[in-house]
């Protein structure tokens, strides 16, 4: 099933609208990849996600200047956060030379960029080695913009941040969306605004507070809401049940009740876990039990949804035509507490529906469950995904050049 066409939801220039031949194009990518202690990349999905945009620019005869952040180096150079390992991986993935420059502004960068030929690819060093990036410093933005003729944003994962390379540079250059950014908007915004029904939202993760905006934005659009993870126990506690040591946001109890009442008013089917896996500690070898959610003993903590909940949730997904999933069902990083999350991942993958998984931990869970190839779309964003699902405009998208003015 295809989402609604991009023209219905974006109305910004995309990379295909630019005449790239012989032009220098500054592409803001999201190469914020995990590295091990030897600085080897442990997961290169974010690099691979940018390849369609990079390859398109190369094929069109552009000179490609790639820029990204990695980690939080606090505004100064730190070898632990260098993008050099990414340059090595990119050479292999593109099967061509990638020139790595050990800075992102200054004479050395200018010199390398001026010598570029069509089809060349340069990767600049970590943008956050300069405080001007996170401070959205105008002078830093100007220096980055001076390297190129066009700006392309393909870093959806950072599109919610008002940083220089996201909102500063586009003020000085014609600015367009890359293929990944375009696809993210197409799926997340397009599907939420115009879903094929029945539309089911599965929300998990630790806290209700992080998902209130999503619930409020979806309440008039969804047919069913399934709640798992730690956030479920704030809802269960708000109904007057004992939840032991399970994660609860006491200040959110009234909000949880209000959300449940509002969804009921709208005719939305609302599902909470009926049983859960509990443990007395979060150690990998801890003793676990399965109990009904209304019978969690004092001193025990819910760590995953139980088998009856897996069955209930899976059955609720059977008639779905659109499924949106954001947030795991438990502490899936520990094997003993991962079964519920992985079972839901398989149920989502098996559904005859357009399936969208919203970034962060859920993305990792789907890959660990081995079903990522069966999901229609996996978002690369965390905070950016949530903001879009809340119906908010992202700064990095708002600043792109409008189609109608060109």
* Residue 100, H or E segment: strand 99-101
* 48: number of Cβ within 10 Å: 12
Rg (CA), the chain: 23
What residues does 287 pair with on adjacent strands? none
Q: Which residue has the tokens 């995309």?
A: 14
Would you state the torsion angle of the CA atoms of residues 69, 75, 81, 84, taken in this order, to the nearest 10 degrees? Answer: 70
Is residue 262 packed enough to be buried (19+ CB in 10 Å), middle (13-18) or exposed (0-12)? middle
Structural tokens at position 130:
């300069």
Give Cα separations from 84 to 36, 101, 394 (angstroms): 14, 9, 29
Using alpha carbons only, what angle is made at residue 64 by residues 60 and 69, rounded to the nearest 5 degrees?
140
Determine the Cα–Cα distance for residues 16 and 68; give it in Å rounded to an integer.
22
Q: In 3D, which of 318, 329, 29 has the Cα closest to residue 179?
A: 29
Question: Are the C-beta atoms of residues 12 and 139 closer than 8 Å to each other?
Answer: no
Residues in the chain: 406
Q: Could you give the 3-state DSSP secondary structure of residue 152?
A: strand
Which of the residues are catalytic?
46, 207, 360, 383
């Amino acid at each position: 099933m295809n989402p609604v066409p991009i023209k219905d939801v974006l109305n910004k220039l995309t990379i295909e609208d630019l005449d790239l031949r012989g032009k220098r194009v500054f592409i803001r990518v999201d190469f914020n990849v995990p590295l091990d202690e030897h600085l080897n990349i442990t997961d290169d999905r974010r690099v691979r996600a940018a390849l369609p945009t990079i390859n398109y620019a190369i094929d069109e005869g552009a000179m490609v200047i790639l820029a990204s952040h990695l980690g939080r180096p606090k505004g100064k150079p730190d070898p632990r956060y260098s993008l050099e390992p990414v340059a090595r991986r990119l050479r292999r993935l593109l099967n061509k030379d990638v020139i790595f420059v050990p800075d992102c502004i200054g004479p050395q960068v200018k010199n390398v960029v001026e010598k570029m030929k069509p089809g060349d690819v340069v990767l600049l060093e970590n943008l956050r080695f300069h405080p001007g990036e996170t401070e959205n410093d105008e002078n830093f933005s100007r220096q980055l913009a001076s390297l190129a003729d066009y700006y392309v944003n393909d870093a959806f994962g950072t599109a919610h941040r008002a940083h220089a390379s996201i909102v500063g540079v586009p003020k000085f250059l014609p600015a367009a969306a890359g293929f990944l950014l375009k696809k993210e908007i197409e799926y997340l915004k397009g599907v939420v605004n115009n879903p094929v029904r029945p539309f089911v939202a599965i929300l998990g993760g630790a806290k209700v507070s992080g998902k209130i905006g999503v619930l409020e934005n979806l309440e008039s659009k969804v047919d069913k809401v399934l709640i798992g993870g730690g956030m479920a126990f704030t809802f269960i506690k708000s109904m007057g049940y004992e939840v032991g040591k399970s994660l609860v946001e006491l200040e959110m109890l009234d909000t949880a009740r209000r959300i449940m009442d509002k969804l009921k008013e709208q005719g939305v089917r609302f599902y909470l876990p009926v049983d859960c896996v509990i443990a007395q500690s979060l150690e990998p070898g801890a003793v676990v039990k399965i109990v009904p959610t209304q019978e969690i003993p004092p001193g025990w903590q819910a760590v995953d949804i139980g088998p009856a909940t897996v069955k209930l949730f899976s059955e609720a997904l059977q008639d779905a035509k659109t499924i949106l999933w954001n947030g795991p069902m438990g502490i899936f990083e520990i094997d003993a507490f991962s079964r519920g999350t992985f079972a839901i991942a398989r149920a989502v993958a098996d559904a005859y529906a357009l399936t969208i998984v919203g970034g962060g931990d859920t993305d990792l869970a789907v890959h660990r469950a081995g079903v990522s190839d069966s999901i229609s779309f996996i978002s690369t964003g965390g905070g950016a995904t949530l903001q879009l699902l809340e119906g908010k405009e992202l700064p990095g998208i708002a600043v792109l050049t409008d189609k109608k003015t060109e």
